[in-house]
Amino acid sequence: MRIDLSKINKKDIEQLLLEKEMNIASAQGLFDYCFYTRDNPCNNNDVLDYLELNLSNKEDKYFYDSRIKPAIKQINADTYNDNYYRIHIKPKEYKDKNYQLTYLKMNPYQCFPYDDILIDDNFIEVSQIGYFNENFPYLAVIKDDVVWMSTDPNEINTMDSSIKKAKGNVLAFGLGLGYFLIMSASKEEVSSVTIVEKDPEIIKIFKKHILPLFEYKEKITIIEDDAFKFAKGDLNKYNYLFIDIWHNPEDGLPMYLKFKKILKGKNIVTDYWLEKSILAMYRRCLLTVIEESLMGYTDKNYKTVENEYDTIINDLYFKTKDRTFSSLKEIKEILQDNALLKLI
């Protein structure tokens, strides 16, 4: 990659790179703040103190105004009162040596991510953080004292658009608590839902404690298999595919790229859980390549890898090494979602 600094103001590129660092800092800071509010109900001043922001400082104020202030808002719990899953799927609690099926709750003024991120034209990422003013119960599976899967507002909101698109014969990778499966199968436009899940314990919990509560069982098929292996087979009988086998965008990006490679050329409409956030992670990797280009990195700097993200960055370097950018507009164009998908 060559950046023609005789035609591009270096400060403009440096601002893009600074925005990336602020995106990372705000996402981590708000994630940590959500944990803090489990025991310390949030208020407007708390987040400033927690993140150690001083609004009389120009940089701090910009960081707060662009990423923190627009991120946090109160959510109306009544929004979820008519949700099919929450109304009909109320299993009894269950526990074995590995998993626990139980009910958790959001406490009043406890912050939590409630939807995928928002991104503006300058690639500023805004986490969507919500809180209720009352208790909000939800179903969850716990493994080794860690919430493994749940039907919290984030799960509901981030799957909503995919559930609306599901029709015909639906295929999904990742069972979880069956939220996508049940919400899709309850639609008239959906003829069948096939779920591929490799964890037999999760399948057992779902079949024993959740599936009996669902009225359209005849639409559902559960296959115990590896998603990547299954994806390499014939998918022609399916009309729609939804993929959700990762816990967050960070561990999702490598798997997302692997699926993109496997599914290339297959004629099936596909959606990926948290795709906007995953592409934001990919964009950050490309911005790292841009930054290293300014630092004079060459082929020899991309010969070794220590983790999956090194592999992604190295691949991006070799995909873009022969490109020359002569304007800020050209740089911004390659950072757009459609251009990132072409690189992928």
- Same domain as 289, residue 212: no
The per-residue pLDDT of the chain, averaged, comes to 95
Report pLDDT digits (tens) over 181-226.
Answer: 999 999 999 999 999 999 999 999 999 999 999 999 999 999 999 9
Q: What is the pLDDT of residue 291?
A: 96
| Measured CA distances, 331 to 79, 86, 217, 334 (Å) | 40, 45, 50, 5
Q: Which of 245, 260, 292 is the last residue before a domain boundary?
A: 245
In which band, very low, low, confident or very high, does the pLDDT at 44 lie, cut at 50, 70 and 90? low
Q: Does residue 159 fall inside a structural domain?
A: no
Report pLDDT digits (tens) over 5-16.
Answer: 788 888 999 999
Do 163 and 106 touch, CB atoms closer than 8 A? no
- Same domain as 128, residue 61: yes
- Same domain as 212, residue 178: yes
Q: Does residue 161 fall inside a structural domain?
A: no
Q: Which of 150, 176, 207 is the last residue before a domain boundary?
A: 150
Q: Residue 13 has which token pair?
A: 């590129």
- Same domain as 10, residue 127: yes
Assign residue 183 the CATH number of its domain. 3.40.50.150
- Same domain as 124, residue 201: no
What is the number of domains present in the chain?
A: 3
Q: Residue 224 has which token pair?
A: 């115990």
Residues of the domain holding 229: 166-245
Q: Does residue 213 fall inside a structural domain?
A: yes
The whole-angstrom separation of Cα 329 and Cα 332 is 5
- Same domain as 24, residue 121: yes
Q: What is the pLDDT of residue 99?
A: 93
Report pLDDT digits (tens) over 96-144.
Answer: 988 999 999 999 999 999 999 999 999 999 999 999 999 999 999 999 8
Do 269 and 165 touch, CB atoms closer than 8 A? yes
Q: Does residue 188 fall inside a structural domain?
A: yes
- Same domain as 32, residue 83: yes
> 331-339: which pairs have CB atoms within 8 A and are 24 or more residues apart?
331/3, 331/8, 331/13, 331/16, 331/290, 332/16, 332/123, 334/286, 335/16, 335/123, 335/283, 335/286, 335/287, 337/276, 337/279
The pairing of strands 99-106 and 94-95 is antiparallel
- Same domain as 8, residue 125: yes
- Same domain as 98, residue 22: yes
Helix (H, G, I), strand (E, B) or coil at 270: strand
- Same domain as 100, residue 28: yes
Q: Which of 200, 222, 245 is the last residue before a domain boundary?
A: 245
- Same domain as 19, residue 137: yes
Report pLDDT digits (tens) over 233-245.
Answer: 999 999 999 999 9
Q: Does residue 172 fall inside a structural domain?
A: yes
